Chains A and B, each alone.
Chain A
């Protein structure tokens, strides 16, 4: 079976490509294996002639039919009628995939690309009902403190995403306010932050619109977010502060000739501003110029040079007048080589692992980290070794759970990276990260049941012992409800099964809290193969 994360990545790529071709944003697809004999009501393994596949597409939130949804099966396609019904006759293939697409709808609760439905061969098929989940809508206005609407301000919705190893925030939608300061964004259901951009108030004015963020950040390190459900519309009126700004002129030790570095400012109260930087001065004494309101800021300049990324940090205080003479001492961002050791107790049966297969990332602990910096991946160096390029900050080592090998320990100097953060100060670095891997694992299998009946399921094993892997995911994908983990690192776990894929940040105890009655604790020791049957969380309960 293909590992789950591979499926996900494949589909993502497929969808992205689809979007490139057709410009469809909110469109997805069901992919389901369909025994063609379902309409015959026969339990025979051999289909008796062409079958008819028919059914209905419904809005999962309202139960209402979805007309003009595109249903595809084996290269054939049709639009559903006014009652959401579809009908494919003369289906001769023994199996195939059934997909539904409709702008404004997603095929799964979390908006991800696909949701599988399984069919019980041997049972008379009920009327096929394909559920589509309507997208969610954020609306609102941007209003200046004096009550004037703010037109043409960029607003973005950043969505909390968990990719199986690390957590980050990606821009799900971005728009500009209209002439009345209104905005509207259609997004997949999920957890969000809404953020307006730092920008000049009006061309030629010396005022800036400061970023407004929903929910209001209580400190720089919280992961507060707004939850929006499928089909829900939430309205937020953002009232950004408008402040007089002053120009700050900065130069760097390397000169700015190689292009402007990207500069962000973090104010003493934790707020972050991404500055729009202009050239200043002549070509030789080149500098960068940007606008800041009064206050004290930590400025971070980062530049990409042919030798690799460079970064510098400095502080500046703007006190009701323009500031000049800020200097950035750009220095290469430290590179931390990664070394892999194979644990002494390993058996020799398994093929030696490759460091790349663990999907190692350093997850930035800063909740408002730039999208590009939210998690760092290893990059192959000239000498073919692998290394992380790590700007100053605090990080957590994350890995993807898959395959026969797992990360038994990880260290950076004296830090145990399975239990502690990796903290990089400015101008520090160069030490290697040491990873010890092992193939001394356990197995786990069982049956998923919904109301006593076996059902296809998604199983999540969340380690409660310190691990780089956040979660181990298995898709049962079997009408008999059987799931099977061939390799699980020893330790204690919480196990839970869902009817659909459930992408969430499993490190957060709040994630499983609503389903506590169905969570099972399990301890696995090396070489053991216990069985654990799970009570599936139905799709209806997954929608918070």
Chain B
């Protein structure tokens, strides 16, 4: 059972939050009572975990069902010895999630984002489980400045490091959480599952900011700031480097508690002189004030808006200080300003000038969609995902970001639209009607390979060829005549390794009856394989994967196909 995926998150976003939780369970089972019993135990030592909380949620199966809003949950508290016995109102597949203090909240037999659903039927109305929970891991630390004094309000980002995929695409380190330091410079990340993590910190030099504090419009006739105060902290990766490639990876086992302290060292701040676009700034004969918004563009974890100091000089330019070297995106906010953003690489050394009137370093990508009806095409949102950071950099023509979670539809009646992104390489992702999928991309003034495009600054065009009708594969995995429970199911494209391929590897975990569901699969040729107790297998290693593919079953999925394929699981 696949619990979360980008797809499902996007689908959930598409659903009006208030959609009815209609339950299709009107037929009450005549006499049978359904229940899940079991014990919560620690994965570290097998000891029972007292006083845990469990929630059982009925899972609707099939691709259409997964788009429904969550069914009502049945809560239950485990007793002193970790025992639980949950009475359930109906047969079906139940998702069981448990939490307990000091343990990571997990679904039953959870692996990565997968878990096993508990399938109850009239024939087998109850299940008894050993439900393992992993002790939580914790990272704590302090952030000190160059004088050993605490840095307040420093922002620590925690990134989960993931191994490369077999199609040799390095998945982005996923931003997992962020925390702020308190008055002692202390921070904490708790409730972490075991895994590999990296940390970085962003902070302002308090005295540099305070020293440059004056009204935005104040005349700047004063003596220039003492260089020792005109400084910034670079984005600093644990244990103390501004180079993400040199960041240390913290490998946490279940229950680990780590200390990760930072000391920040200031570097000379870089000054940027922004010349606002004067095109529309005069209203009623008066110059309208506009204000810059500056966002740092980073690889390996997005950073939000950057604080800085800004003063208007007598010529109307804006002197921006307090920046660390790096790549920034600048937009002007204010009446009459074009929302067009500009990109600038700020380097250490002398001040740089950015003329918003002529700057046009962003890629302006015109998107055309063909292969589907106009109304379907209008329902599609196109996102360009930075493969380095996993960040959706796409914005609409008005300059607003497609904030994650925000719902922005393309304007009606337009068959194409333009999105502005920094130049670079992106993965093209369609959001909208779930059955739609990409069959190919042709590009003008840009490069397209498989799902990836490389767009230069200036104008370019992408023609996205889209088709309707994703496929479904369901089945039962067995081993020696018995259901293989909790097995890893892999659906590997036959074209794996071909850079032009649009298809991706899909996975699922078998439920307590050995069943699996792979919904919304891109049509094509695949190899289907189930690995019994296979969650320790390093399937991301191409040669390891090849060994399993040899023992798999080839399947061909036509458009809208709904294939049922029972398979024999293989040993790990």
Q: Using CB atoms and an 8 Å cutoff, list the residues of chain A in contact with chain B.
A: 14, 18, 20-27, 68, 70, 72, 74-79, 101, 103-104, 135, 137, 148-149, 151, 175, 178-179, 184, 186, 201-206, 279, 281-283, 286
Q: Is the CB of B222 within 8 A of A179?
A: no
Q: Interface residues of A: mostly helix, strand, loop or mixed?
A: loop
**Which residue on B lies nearest to A183, using beta carbons?**
B182
CB neighbours of A149 from chain B (8 A): 101
Q: Is the CB of A22 within 8 A of B206?
A: yes
Q: Flag whether B283 is at the interface (Cβ < 8 A).
A: no
Q: Is the CB of A283 within 8 A of B223?
A: no
Q: Flag whether B134 is at the interface (Cβ < 8 A).
A: no
Q: Is the CB of A79 within 8 A of B207?
A: yes
Q: Flag whether B307 is at the interface (Cβ < 8 A).
A: yes
Interface string of B153-194 (1 = CB under 8 A from A): 100000000000000000000000000001110001011000
A202-B77 Cα distance, complex, nearest whole Å? 11
B308 to chain A, nearest CB (A): 7
B112 to chain A, nearest CB (A): 20
CB neighbours of B213 from chain A (8 A): 18, 21-22
CB neighbours of B136 from chain A (8 A): 179
CB neighbours of B210 from chain A (8 A): 18, 22, 24, 27, 70, 72, 77, 101
Q: Interface residues of B: mostly helix, strand, loop or mixed?
A: loop
A21-B209, A179-B190 given; A76·B149 CB < 8 A: no
CB neighbours of A283 from chain B (8 A): 16, 18-20
Q: Is the CB of B183 within 8 A of A148?
A: no
A297-B152 Cα distance, complex, nearest whole Å? 41
A178-B183 Cα distance, complex, nearest whole Å? 15
Q: Is the CB of B152 within 8 A of A184?
A: no
Q: Is the CB of A204 within 8 A of B226?
A: no
A186-B183, A279-B17 given; A206·B206 CB < 8 A: no
Q: Is the CB of A204 within 8 A of B99?
A: yes
28 contacts between A and B (CB under 8 A): A21-B209, A22-B206, A22-B307, A23-B153, A23-B204, A24-B152, A26-B152, A26-B183, A27-B210, A68-B147, A68-B149, A70-B206, A70-B207, A70-B211, A76-B223, A77-B207, A77-B226, A78-B226, A151-B101, A178-B190, A179-B188, A184-B183, A201-B53, A202-B53, A202-B99, A202-B101, A205-B75, A205-B77
Q: Is the CB of A179 within 8 A of B309?
A: no
A23-B223 Cα distance, complex, nearest whole Å? 25
Interface residues of B in 14-32 (CB under 8 A from A): 16-20, 22
A457 to chain B, nearest CB (A): 28
A32-B298 Cα distance, complex, nearest whole Å? 43
**Which residue on B lies nearest to A256, using beta carbons?**
B18
Interface string of B134-147 (1 = CB under 8 A from A): 00101000000001
A279-B72 Cα distance, complex, nearest whole Å? 12
Partner of A279, one of B18, B75, B215: B18
CB neighbours of B206 from chain A (8 A): 22-24, 27, 70, 101, 103
Interface string of B202-226 (1 = CB under 8 A from A): 0010110111011100000111011
Q: Flag whether B529 is at the interface (Cβ < 8 A).
A: no
Q: Flag whether B73 is at the interface (Cβ < 8 A).
A: yes
Measured as residues with beta carbon below 8 angstroms from the partner, the interface class of chain B is 35 or more
CB neighbours of B215 from chain A (8 A): 14
Q: Is the CB of A68 within 8 A of B182?
A: no
Kindly list 17 other residue pairs between chains A and B, CB separation below 8 angstroms, not including A22-B206, A205-B77, A281-B20: A21-B307, A21-B309, A22-B209, A27-B206, A68-B207, A70-B229, A75-B214, A75-B222, A76-B223, A77-B207, A77-B211, A78-B229, A148-B101, A179-B136, A186-B182, A202-B99, A203-B105
Q: Is the CB of B307 within 8 A of A23?
A: yes
CB neighbours of A201 from chain B (8 A): 53
Partner of B225, one of A77, A103, A204: A77
Q: Is the CB of A137 within 8 A of B209?
A: no
Q: Is the CB of A286 within 8 A of B75?
A: no
CB neighbours of B138 from chain A (8 A): 179
Q: Is the CB of B223 within 8 A of A75?
A: yes
A386-B149 Cα distance, complex, nearest whole Å? 52
CB neighbours of A281 from chain B (8 A): 20
A99 to chain B, nearest CB (A): 9
**Which residue on B lies nearest to A148, using beta carbons?**
B101
CB neighbours of B19 from chain A (8 A): 282-283
Q: Is the CB of A204 within 8 A of B229?
A: no
Q: Is the CB of B153 within 8 A of A25?
A: yes
Q: Flag whether B97 is at the interface (Cβ < 8 A).
A: yes
A202-B99, A203-B99, A204-B54 given; A21·B308 CB < 8 A: yes
Q: Flag whether B249 is at the interface (Cβ < 8 A).
A: no
A202 to chain B, nearest CB (A): 5
CB neighbours of B191 from chain A (8 A): 179
CB neighbours of A76 from chain B (8 A): 222-223, 226
A146 to chain B, nearest CB (A): 8
A298 to chain B, nearest CB (A): 26
CB neighbours of A179 from chain B (8 A): 136, 138, 188, 190-191
**Which residue on A lies nearest to B69, using beta carbons?**
A279
A291 to chain B, nearest CB (A): 11
A265-B8 Cα distance, complex, nearest whole Å? 35
Listed residue (B20, B97, B226) with the most chain A CB atoms within 10 angstroms of its CB:
B20
Q: Is the CB of B204 within 8 A of A137?
A: no
Q: Flag whether B55 is at the interface (Cβ < 8 A).
A: yes
Q: Which 4 A-B pairs have the closest CB atoms?
A: A75-B222, A22-B209, A204-B55, A282-B20
A183 to chain B, nearest CB (A): 10
Q: Is the CB of A205 within 8 A of B53?
A: yes
**Which residue on B lies nearest to A101, using beta carbons?**
B210
Listed residue (A14, A25, A72, A204) with the most chain B CB atoms within 10 angstroms of its CB:
A204
A206-B56 Cα distance, complex, nearest whole Å? 13
Interface residues of B in 95-136 (CB under 8 A from A): 97, 99, 101, 105, 136
CB neighbours of B105 from chain A (8 A): 203
A529-B97 Cα distance, complex, nearest whole Å? 77
**Which residue on B lies nearest to A279, using beta carbons?**
B18
Q: Is the CB of B307 within 8 A of A204?
A: no
**Which residue on B lies nearest to A15, using beta carbons?**
B213
Listed residue (A22, A205, A283) with the most chain B CB atoms within 10 angstroms of its CB:
A22
A77-B226, A205-B75, A206-B75 given; A23·B99 CB < 8 A: no
**Which residue on B lies nearest to A72, using beta carbons?**
B211
**Which residue on A lies nearest to B138, using beta carbons?**
A179
A24-B152 Cα distance, complex, nearest whole Å? 8
Q: Is the CB of B190 within 8 A of A151?
A: yes
Interface string of B46-83 (1 = CB under 8 A from A): 00000001110000000000000000010101000000
B263 to chain A, nearest CB (A): 15
A79-B390 Cα distance, complex, nearest whole Å? 41
A258-B293 Cα distance, complex, nearest whole Å? 33
A22-B307, A77-B211, A148-B101 given; A204·B53 CB < 8 A: yes
A206-B149 Cα distance, complex, nearest whole Å? 44
A229-B210 Cα distance, complex, nearest whole Å? 26
A379-B96 Cα distance, complex, nearest whole Å? 52
A509-B135 Cα distance, complex, nearest whole Å? 55
CB neighbours of A178 from chain B (8 A): 188, 190
**Which residue on A lies nearest to B182, using beta carbons?**
A184
Q: Is the CB of B183 within 8 A of A135?
A: yes
CB neighbours of B223 from chain A (8 A): 75-76
B211 to chain A, nearest CB (A): 4
**Which residue on A lies nearest to B309, using beta carbons?**
A21
A204-B53, A279-B17 given; A24·B77 CB < 8 A: no
Q: Is the CB of A23 within 8 A of B209?
A: yes
Q: Is the CB of A104 within 8 A of B77?
A: no
CB neighbours of A77 from chain B (8 A): 207, 210-211, 225-226, 229
**Which residue on A lies nearest to B224, using beta carbons?**
A75
B187 to chain A, nearest CB (A): 9
A106 to chain B, nearest CB (A): 13
CB neighbours of A20 from chain B (8 A): 307
**Which residue on B lies nearest to A182, using beta carbons?**
B188
A24 to chain B, nearest CB (A): 5
A14-B99 Cα distance, complex, nearest whole Å? 46
A27-B210, A77-B229 given; A104·B183 CB < 8 A: yes
